[in-house]
Structure 1
Amino acid sequence: MTAVAPTSPPAPRARFTHELPFGATCLGPDRTRFRLWAPDATEAWIEIDAGHARNGNNTVRMEAEPDGWYAAVAPIGAGLCYRYRVTDRNGVTITVPDPAARAQWQDLYGPSLVVDPSRYLWRHADWQGRPWHETVLYELHVGAMGGFNGVRARLPELARLGVTAIELMPLAEFPGARNWGYDGVLPFAPDASYGSPDELKALIDTAHGLGLMVFLDVVYNHFGPDGNYLVHYARRFFHEGTHTPWGAAFDFRQPAVREFFIQNALMWLMEYRFDGLRLDAVQAIGERDWLSELAARVRQAVEPGRYVHLVLENENNAASLLRGATTSPIPPDRSPTEPTQTGPFEAQWNDDGHHALHALLTGEHEAYYAAYADAPAERLARVLQEGFCYQGEPSALHNGAPRGEPSGTLPPTAFVLYLQNHDQIGNRPLGERLTRLAHPEALHAAQTLLLLCPQIPLLFMGEEWGSLRPFYYFTSHHGALADAVREGRRRELGRFSAFSDPLKRERIPDPNDERTYQASWPGEAELTNPEHLAWLNRTHQLLTLRHAQIVPRLVGAHALDAVPLGTTGVLARWRLGDGSVLTLAVNLGAQPVSLPTALAGNPADLLYESRDGAAAMLATHHVPAYTCIALLAPPSN
């Protein structure tokens, strides 16, 4: 007989669900519990799709419960459609989608769908995630990359490139088929234009099989301007008289509101198995204590041994919300008695770093760049040494009010650094990427700084090959709202002097034109161009160096110092966790800059130079134009 080779046991499979205390919860094949918070309603019913109603009865009355809740169990199962019908105190009756719907039929204006989350069988149920310091983020727009299945097809090449985490722009159901996602209205429902809930799970499952984490951008500060019906039957959801720049503010003093968004976060993390969340613009959340409560609830719910990461976007630069590395040594210029910050969030998107780098690369000084263009090299040096540039100083962009908190005791991994993201490209009048704005060698030097710096790097889709395609702001509104969005955006972008003339603002693409959306796809066809292939290979080379030489030493890393070099350069040094010293000397200007001391070093210490022969110039006390040089010196005895 021929011996049969033993086969490996199949990978464990599992079904994951997170039971919500509201919305539609499957209790069996033909039984679903419904629960709705409607404190301004006097009556509420469930309307079942007529084709699936029993005995011709497509309406189920909901029973009133304390504190404004309504509940009922209806004889329908997964895959069937429903709506709520509510009557307010004035006797007005409206039909609305479920604010906690797990899916919508076709779009925001269609009925909600009953979803059984246990139907998906996970192939990589044993995935535990990756530690935060290994993170290399790749932000993407799902629609512009072909929906959930389109993104899933791209995952192998991103894993080969050296990306360790993809970050999806918001998925919450929005009106129409084109939107950045920040105008979402139903936060529990992945937008139907991208695919089904199971297709989203398959994307995440596939990523885990490739060693990739998946993050989701979530918006807990406002709803979009179209399709929000909560004001008709739950006015207490909103903070009366308080508005964010994008819409009515939520009232996080209300227990039902706090729980609504905590349950949303838990659903994405526990049921969809996302590895982390990026919370959008949390400075617009009035009750800061809710952020700590959210983080605590997440940490409590996540299984032991599983890595889940929480990241902020926060204009307030609240360093006290960020997690310090309690195992890192105290920097030599800090008192041993100075407390290490141990906030609940892993990191924050570092707009200060982006704005300083952008000012250096482009020379732009308008709008928010005005707060950085006065001394961009000094501001970048502070970012590299201490994390935030603004740590309590008055900010011209905040009417002279103080902005930020001291961040110098935080580890470099508490900051997500980037040259580009959806905001910084898409909120330009013409959506240009840096490949259209900066000198190519300067951009290569900045890319070197980004990918070898101890802060956590983020790439925006297409950046890895130097895409030339724009990324515009796009929506699919109609009628008066479409007109208001188009004209409002053009007025807002009039702050750029090149578009101060109303006639020139007509050049700004209409967000509602489908061609604006199509022009924003990253353009993989560019990869037939040798220049783009060379750019892609360089990105791969830098990420390979990062994973081999920087990441294994990041735990316990801290900045030693950073000094500006003239007006266009910075010299920065970090003591890494094993005692080695990483030095980055960067010059984004067209002329060499002087060094305070020669950095000849050992030739073996050279990790990377963005221009051949650039490192040899260090011995002459100079950093050449458009250059970044990385040195990694072993621990001293």
Structure 2
Amino acid sequence: MTAPSPWGARPLGDGSWRFSIWAPAARYVALLLEGRELAMEPGRAGDWSCRIPARPGMAYLFRIDGRDLPDPASRAQIGGVEGPSLTVDPEAFDWARTWSGRSLEEAVFFELHVGTFTREGTFAAAARRLPDLAALGVTAIQLMPVAQFMGRRGWGYDGVLIRAPHPAYGTPDELRAFVAEAQGHGMMVLLDLVMNHFGPFGNFLPDYAPDFFTDQPTPWGDGIAFHRPEVQAFFRDAALGWLCEYRLDGFRLDAVHEIRDGQDQRFLRALSDEIRTLDLGRPVHLICEDERNLTHLREAGFDAEWNDDWHNVLHVALTGETQGYYSRYARDPFADLARALERGQADEGQPHPEGPRGTEAAHLSWTAFVNANQTHDQIGNRAHGERFISLIGEEAARVTHAVLLCMPFLPLLFMGEEEGSEAPFLFFCDPPDEAMRRAVRDGRRAELGRIGYDAEHMPDPTGLEAFEASRPYPARDPARAESWRALTRDLLDLRARRIVPLLKSGKSGIGDVTRHGPRAFAVRWPFEAGEIRMLMSLGTPATGAASLPACAFRLGDPTHDAFGMEVEITA
């Protein structure tokens, strides 16, 4: 029998609740429930617990050596991250209808930041926009992190209460209603889950559980002791709670290279195995971000990985920017692009002046790669938050948009991209005082300056203006936006009708790439049931190439235009 988890408040089904916390450095721990102080019993491994009558909607805190603190596994807060926490019955929501999910091959991801997606910045307002996305052909919403952080605005990667939806976005049931609305329109919902660090403001765990952390820092703060079973239980409970209590269709796990357990990421592999044993009546899709370009997680149960190689080589090839991490692709970006078209990744462990990176990935299915022309990362980690279209121009952006949606890899669009938005997406946050705001500004300026950006004149990341400027809707030019939306709709209709069946039939070999001039390619991707052929010009015409005879979609003329593409699909 599995031992009770040392984290959180959970109903036991008989009117009683179990409250637990791991506080190995504490001498005394009590539960404050609606103002009553109830001593908790210590366990043998630094855990404390009690079982008492309770009901949903009760305010509680943990009194730890005289200090009143929120539950780090809180499902909801009354106000800010300082507390109090709120008891929540995760089984009370009426889902009204069943949901059997969708296959991974059908996925067209749409990355969405709740706070800037609508003027209201709430789950309820975002839910009202979902029918429009479904009508375009979007099949999977990928929510940027919604776990509670300090302040009202932020990207979400500085969460400190990993299981509590951020109250500025809405209540837990309003998030469930968002998920139900999406699934009612045939769209999956995946959550970007951050398990590699906590935000710098409002994280109280180090005070009473210093063993939760290690002396090996991450780029964002203290490293996490994933080798400890109590720490594994904390994150396991969080992941399974989000998945089961909110009927999610999966996760995008942030920067898994920083989830270090000293055992070749056994924690992540065990989590994947446990999720695969659940009988949820729907497929669950696990996607990771791993800057190392390794394949071991995809070979051990994860479905796909964010493929930064595609974005990076395309960005260098079309913008000429080579600062920071783009420098790796500066030598011959179009050769790297050809390799990414052929095999999925550009870096597969081959010799490189900066050192080898990655392992061979051509044996993986095409759906093991999530490709994007832009994401929150790539736009927001610029001094002025420029989108790809602002750097390469309208014609090139439309062609690369079509290429992305017609390749066999899983496509991801960042909100606004479906209608050609040129609105920036800036980094923004809401520190609690001026000293911390100054530290964020100085740190951001130094970080971006080191990689070659003009950060001296960047918008203030702690100001309301950066947040407001990052809203992509409504479009400034409605007619232009509708032209883009028509393009997206046509492409996604083609993908659903002609490309998805090929993906489901299975890959039968790597891509075959022929170069036609310095910036043009002919590509053939084979499947058990047919093939996709694409001809594209990305800066120079495809010299000597013949147009595809049974073209299913064409944008421009790649044999004569600097930017153009056409695709042929046979089955």
Deviation at 1:496, TM superposition (A): 4.6
1:542-561 Cα distance to aligned partner (Å, 9 max, x none): 11111111011112124331
Alignment match, 1:254: 228
Structure 2: distance between partners of 1:386 and 1:295: 25
Pick closer, same or farther for the CA change 1:393–1:485 going to 2, 3 Å: farther
Alpha-carbon deviation of 1:29?
8.7
Deviation at 1:30, TM superposition (A): 6.1
Partner of 1:479: 434
Which residue pairs with 1:355 in the alignment?
312
Task: State the partner residue of 1:318.
Answer: 294
Aligned to 2:483: 534
* Deviations, residues 18-37 of structure 1 (Å, cap 9, x unaligned): x9663111246964320111
Structure 2 CA distance for partners of 1:184 and 1:582, relative to 1, 3 Å: same
Q: Decide whether aligned partners of structure 1 residues 302 and 107 sit closer, same or farther in structure 2, where only a CA change above 3 A counts.
A: farther
| Counterpart mapping for 1:77-476 below 5 A | 77-87=55-65, 93-124=66-97, 126-145=98-117, 146-239=121-214, 241-287=215-261, 288-303=265-280, 305-322=281-298, 342-394=299-351, 400-476=354-430
Which residue of structure 2 aligns with residue 7 of structure 1? Answer: none
User: SS in structure 2 opposite 1:71?
Assistant: strand
* Counterpart position of 2:528: 577
Q: 1:337 is matched with which residue?
A: none
> Structure 1: how far apart are the matches of 2:60 and 2:186?
38
Report if the CA contact (8 A) 1:172-1:190 is conserved. Answer: yes
For 2:243 and 2:516, the matched residues in 1 are separated by 44
SS of residue in 1 equivalent to 2:282: coil
1:587 aligns with 2:537: yes
Structure-2 change in CA distance of 1:29 and 1:227 (3 Å): farther
> Is the 1:44–1:70 contact (alpha carbons within 8 Å) kept by the matching residues of 2?
yes
For 1:448-506, what per-residue CA distance to the aligned partner results, in whole angstroms no more than 9, with x for missing partners? Answer: 1100000000000000001111100010002322111111001111135452xxxxx33
Structure 1 residue 600: Cα displacement: 4.6
Q: CA deviation at 1:150?
A: 1.4
Q: In structure 2, how many angstroms separate the alpha carbons of the residues matched to 1:104 and 1:195?
A: 11
Q: Which residue of 2 aligns with 1:11?
A: none
Amino acid in the other structure paired with 2:23: A
SS in 1 for 2:129: helix
SS in 1 for 2:335: helix
C-alpha distance in 1, partners of 2:164/2:397? 39
Q: Describe the superposition over 1:144-200 as per-residue Cα deviations: whole angstroms up to 9, x where unpaired.
A: 122111110111000000000000001111001101010000101111111000000
Asked whether 1:599 is paired with 2:553, we answer no
Shift of 1:226: 0.9
Provide the residue aligned with 2:21 in structure 1.
Answer: 36
User: Offset of 1:78 from its aligned partner?
Assistant: 1.1
Question: 2:268 is aligned with what amino acid?
Answer: L
Q: Which residue of 2 aligns with 1:609?
A: 554
Could you tell me whether the CA contact under 8 Å between 1:302 and 1:308 is conserved in 2? no
Question: Matched residues, percent identical?
Answer: 42
What is the identity, as a one-letter code, of the residue corresponding to 2:402? T
Change (3 A) 1:94 1:102: same
Q: Distance in 2 between matches of 1:363 and 1:133?
A: 33
Structure 2 gaps of 5+ residues are none
Any idea what the Cα deviations from partners look like across 1:320-365, whole Å, max 9, x if unmatched?
221xxxxxxxxxxxxxxxxxxx431100000000001111221212
RMSD across aligned positions (CA):
1.7
Contact 2:324 2:452 in 1 (8 A): no
Instruction: Spell out, residue by residue over 1:294-343, the C-alpha distance to the aligned partner (whole angstroms, 9 max, x if none).
Output: 1001111243x521000010011111221xxxxxxxxxxxxxxxxxxx43
Given that 2:517 and 2:541 are in contact with CA atoms closer than 8 Å, whether structure 1 keeps it comes out as no
Identify which range, 449-458 or 60-69, moves more after superposition.
Answer: 60-69
CA distance in 2, matches of 1:431, 1:481: 22
Asked if the contact 1:107/1:193 (under 8 Å) is kept, the reply is no
Deviation at 1:380, TM superposition (A): 1.1
The structure whose Rg is larger is 1
Cα contact 1:584–1:628 (8 A) shared by 2: yes
SS in 2 for 1:67: coil
Give the AA of the match of 2:411.
P
**Local SS of the residue matching 1:243:** coil
Q: What corresponds to 2:566 in structure 1?
A: 629
Give SS of 1:539's match.
helix
Q: Secondary structure at the match of 1:554?
A: helix
CA distance in 1, matches of 2:531, 2:330: 30
CA distance in 2, matches of 1:534, 1:161: 12
- SS for the counterpart of 2:536 is strand
1:516 aligns with 2:516: no
1:73 to 16, 39, 51: 51
C-alpha contact 1:581 1:633 (8 A) present in aligned 2:
yes
Q: 3-state SS of the aligned residue for 1:250?
A: coil
Question: Which amino acid in structure 2 is aligned with residue 630 of structure 1?
Answer: V
Aligned partners of 2:382 and 2:453 also within 8 Å:
no
Whether the 8 Å contact between 1:80 and 1:114 is mirrored in structure 2 is yes
Q: Secondary structure of the residue that 2:269 maps to in structure 1?
A: helix
Q: Which amino acid aligns with 2:439?
A: A
CA contact 2:502–2:531 (8 Å) conserved in 1? no
- Normalising by structure 2, we get a TM-score of 0.95
Report the CA distance shift for 1:285/1:437 in structure 2 as closer, same or farther (over 3 A): same
- Deviation of 1:593 after TM superposition, in Å, equals 3.5
DSSP 3-state at the match of 2:257 = helix
Structure 1: gaps (5+ residues): 1-18, 51-57, 88-92, 323-341, 500-504, 618-622
Name the counterpart of 1:488: 443
CA distance in 1, matches of 2:191, 2:217: 25
Looking at structure 1, the residues matched to 355 and 318 of structure 2 have their Cα atoms a distance apart, in angstroms, of: 28
- Partners of 1:563 and 1:257 lie apart in 2 by 50
8 Å Cα contact 1:60-1:74 kept in structure 2: no
Q: Deviations over 1:264-293 (max 9, x none)?
A: 111111111100100000011112111111
Judge conservation of contact 1:83–1:95 (CA < 8 Å) in 2: yes
